[in-house]
Amino acid sequence: MKYGARNTITAKVVSVKKGEVMAQVNFQVDKPCTMASVLTTESVEDLALAPGDEVILVIKAVNVIPVKE
Amino acid sequence: MKYGARNTITAKVVSVKKGEVMAQVNFQVDKPCTMASVLTTESVEDLALAPGDEVILVIKAVNVIPVKE
Amino acid sequence: MKYGARNTITAKVVSVKKGEVMAQVNFQVDKPCTMASVLTTESVEDLALAPGDEVILVIKAVNVIPVKE
Amino acid sequence: MKYGARNTITAKVVSVKKGEVMAQVNFQVDKPCTMASVLTTESVEDLALAPGDEVILVIKAVNVIPVKE
Amino acid sequence: MKYGARNTITAKVVSVKKGEVMAQVNFQVDKPCTMASVLTTESVEDLALAPGDEVILVIKAVNVIPVKE
Amino acid sequence: MKYGARNTITAKVVSVKKGEVMAQVNFQVDKPCTMASVLTTESVEDLALAPGDEVILVIKAVNVIPVKE
């Protein structure tokens, strides 16, 4: 199983809240992991990103797809 | 500083690869963290997601926004 | 009418389910069509994608925009 | 294998174009399929979407994730 | 022409930078406009969003679709 | 504070509508601003985008992230 996405993180379901149409699921990620971001080169230069820098990775919950293998 | 996004993960830059227009940045996430997904209630039921279940969270790199505070 | 998006698929509405804020609409696509994906070159190499390969295209419903012309 | 995404479409790779960082892959979808969109209830009412209506589904290529099972 | 998207902003092209696979286009928006965001109710409560509050709307460039009518 | 996103627009909250899981927030943008789109070079050529062209920028509300600094 190979995904055309750079981030595939093992997680455990903590809670499920179901609405009529949409639902929110919370997860716990226990192990250290790697992540990747694709952005404009212009943005990378604006942030002057370099190895060792600490950042916050902001991800909207709608962009997180849980998969059960 | 408060973001209208459920996922804000502390990470360290590992590598930067710049193309003409787009760039890819890789990160290391060292500490356990929580994550959230929003999906259709129909999908939650299809996957029968329940507390304790193990899943893979798939996230395209274009949906990861690094922020330097 | 020209869209800055590679995928424009003709479809017919099958059902509509309205919640307070969000709604889900299901469609039928009857005719064969072409689709495109943009991903990292790294992912393409991981999947070793080559002409003739069969894949599953996974798309979250929030990323599908219906337009009435 | 179950995905937390409403759209999972079987497709065949037609062409691959690799750049330094990003790549574009084109696919052929041969069989009729169903698709789903999640949008605001406000938008559904603006478009007056009802069963039988014909629409164009616009999807940016960055939101299409190929998976090899 | 009706879009299943809450934000449709009139803009003028300022510059175009083409890479092999991806391109970046910059625009000028001259007129005041309205915008909408959909996020979790949990996030709205975290930010305590209320009429009159000033915020920054962050949007990745990959999520902006230019259309020529 | 620097964001890895090309669009950061100052806006004022106009209204908030909370559902069980998801909420919609409307904003007023009063000042002229610049915006950026990243799309395939193929799409730029299809639309023949050039400085001075007028376009509509279509953005789904789920891709707009309000931030309170």
pLDDT digits (tens, 9 = 90+) for B12-52: 999 999 999 999 999 999 999 999 999 999 999 999 999 99
In a 3-state reduction of DSSP, which class is residue F49? Answer: coil
pLDDT digits (tens, 9 = 90+) for E14-51: 999 999 999 999 999 999 999 999 999 999 999 999 99
In chain E, what is the straight-line distance between the N-terminal and C-terminal CA atoms, in Å?
9
Query: Tokens in use for B63?
Result: 């949906």
pLDDT digits (tens, 9 = 90+) for B54-67: 999 999 999 999 99
D68 domain residue, yes or no: no
B68 domain residue, yes or no: no
Of C36, F25, E23, A62, nearest to B39 by C-alpha is A62
B50 domain residue, yes or no: yes
Closest residue in C to E63 (Cα) is C63
Of A47, E36, F47, nearest to B66 by C-alpha is A47
Say if residue A69's pLDDT is above 90. no
Q: Which residues of chain B lie closer than 8 angstroms to A46, CB-CB?
A: none
Q: Which residues of chain D lie closer than 8 angstroms to E20, CB-CB?
A: 17, 19-20
Mean model confidence pLDDT for chain A = 97
What is the residue range of C59's domain? 12-63
Global ipTM: 0.97
E66 inside 8 A of chain D by CB = no
List Cβ neighbours of E45 (8 Å cut-off, separation of 6 or more).
none
Q: Which residues of chain D lie closer than 8 angstroms to F24, CB-CB?
A: 40, 42
A51 DSSP 8-state letter: T
A20 DSSP 8-state letter: S
What pLDDT score was predicted for residue C56?
98
Helix, strand, coil share (%) of chain D residues, nearest 5: 15, 60, 30
E21 inside 8 A of chain C by CB = yes
pLDDT digits (tens, 9 = 90+) for F28-57: 999 999 999 999 999 999 999 999 999 999
A28 inside 8 A of chain F by CB = no
Q: Which residues of chain E lie closer than 8 angstroms to D46, CB-CB?
A: 2
Give just the sign of the alpha carbon dihedral F39, F45, F49, F51: positive
- The pTM (predicted TM-score) of the whole model is 0.98
Of B27, E11, E26, E3, nearest to D37 by C-alpha is E3
- Cα gap B60→B62, rounded to integer Å: 5
Length of chain E: 69
Say if residue E10's pLDDT is above 90. yes
A28 domain residue, yes or no: yes
- Please state, as a whole number, how many other Cβ atoms lie within 10 Å of the Cβ of residue D14: 15
User: Across the D/E interface, how many CB contacts are shorter than 8 Å?
Assistant: 36
Our measurement of the distance from residue A2's CA atom to the centroid of its chain's CA atoms, rounded to an integer in Å, reads: 17
A4 domain residue, yes or no: no
- Cα gap B31→B11, rounded to integer Å: 9
Cβ contact F5:E24 at 8 Å:
no
B46 inside 8 A of chain A by CB = no
In a 3-state reduction of DSSP, which class is residue B53? Answer: coil
Closest residue in C to D32 (Cα) is C30
B56 domain residue, yes or no: yes
The torsion defined by the Cα of D64, E1, E6 and E8, in degrees rounded to 10, comes to 90
E17 inside 8 A of chain F by CB = no
- Please state, as a whole number, how many other Cβ atoms lie within 10 Å of the Cβ of residue E41: 20
- Cβ density class A5-33: b for 16+ within 10 Å, e for less: bbbbbebebeebbbbbbbbbbbbebeeeb
Mean pLDDT by 10 residues, chain C (69 residues): 95 98 98 97 98 98 96
Place of tokens 């009418």: C1
**F24 and D39: CB-CB below 8 Å?**
no
Q: Which residues of chain A lie closer than 8 angstroms to C42, CB-CB?
A: 6
Q: How many structural domains does chain A have?
A: 1
The torsion defined by the Cα of E6, E12, E18 and E22, in degrees rounded to 10, comes to 0
Radius of gyration of chain C (CA): 15
Of F24, F39, F42, the CB nearest to D40: F24
Q: Which residues pair with B39 in a beta bridge?
A: A23
Place of tokens 């286009």: E25
B3 domain residue, yes or no: no
Q: Which residues of chain B lie closer than 8 angstroms to D6, CB-CB?
A: 40, 42-43
The per-type count for chain B, helices as H runs and strands as E runs, is 1, 6
B45 domain residue, yes or no: yes
- Cα gap B18→B37, rounded to integer Å: 30
- Cα gap B38→A19, rounded to integer Å: 11
- Cα gap D58→C13, rounded to integer Å: 14
- Cα gap B49→F20, rounded to integer Å: 19
**D41 and C54: CB-CB below 8 Å?**
no
